[in-house]
Amino acid sequence: MIPALDRQTITYAQLAKTIDHSVLNPDLTEADVVAQLELAKRYNVASVAIKACELPLAVSMLRGTGIAVGTTIGFPHGVNTTAAKVCETHDALENGATELDMVINVGKLRSGQSDYVRREIQAVVDAARGRALVKVIIEIAYLNTEQKVLACKLVEEAGADFVKSSSGFAPSGYTLEDMKLMRASVGPRVQVKAAAGVRSLDAALGVIDVGCTRIGTIATAIILDEFERLQREKASPA
């Protein structure tokens, strides 16, 4: 398990490396994408989550930076067939992705079809094995408490690397209670990622406090600029 971060001692570099900078809005032009990749480079984030069609561009622009290039599988609703998700996985890997954010089939989970959900996650994990991290989006806004716990357990059983709260395309995102529950529902091998609602430094530190090691956000500059400002103020003589 990655050691928990402490908001009292976290550094700028550590905070930046919790961030998966999201570049997934469907209306982004190529110029918009280039600008967002430059922003990711400037802030030296953990990864960029980008549309699959832009993977070659992202790989080219981020080569040598240490910033991982990620994309989505079954995004945003998770309703693709398992075969389609596996095909997307292979295509993403061939185009240079090293992190994959996969959406589960929420309807199947809510229908009690746990085996279907587990097997589908496992199929993507197997396809990505040794080449990419797999983060599984359980779309927590649609689930009751029992289903949230079950989804986390299925992610762990299937061998994925992360359980992630939300896609950003559901009616709502996570709550801090959700993130605490997710952290408590998986063992130390599985990391937890919060997304859909992390738009401020306070929100970022809040999910870090409850054990999240990655944050999906479009508000990278807002979060890190505010952190840097507060650090300068602390260092300035009274």
What is the Cα–Cα distance from 204 to 174, expressed in whole angstroms? Answer: 12
99-132 burial string, b = 16+ CB within 10 Å, else e?
Answer: bbbbbbbbebbeeeebebbbebbbbbbebbeeeb
End-to-end alpha-carbon separation of the chain, Å? 39
Q: Which of 85, 135, 148, 164 is catalytic?
A: 164
Q: Which of 85, 135, 148, 193 is catalytic?
A: 193
What is the Cα–Cα distance from 101 to 123, expressed in whole angstroms? Answer: 14
CA 19, 221, 73, 185 dihedral sign is positive
DSSP-derived 3-state class of residue 214: strand
Active site residue 6: no
What is the Cα–Cα distance from 209 to 231, expressed in whole angstroms? Answer: 18
What is the Cα–Cα distance from 54 to 195, expressed in whole angstroms? Answer: 21
Q: Which of 20, 101, 161, 178 is catalytic?
A: 101
Burial status of residue 29 (CB atoms within 10 A of its CB: 0-12, 13-18, 19 or more): exposed
What is the Cα–Cα distance from 142 to 134, expressed in whole angstroms? Answer: 21
Active site residue 193: yes
Active site residue 101: yes
> Catalytic residues, which ones?
101, 164, 193
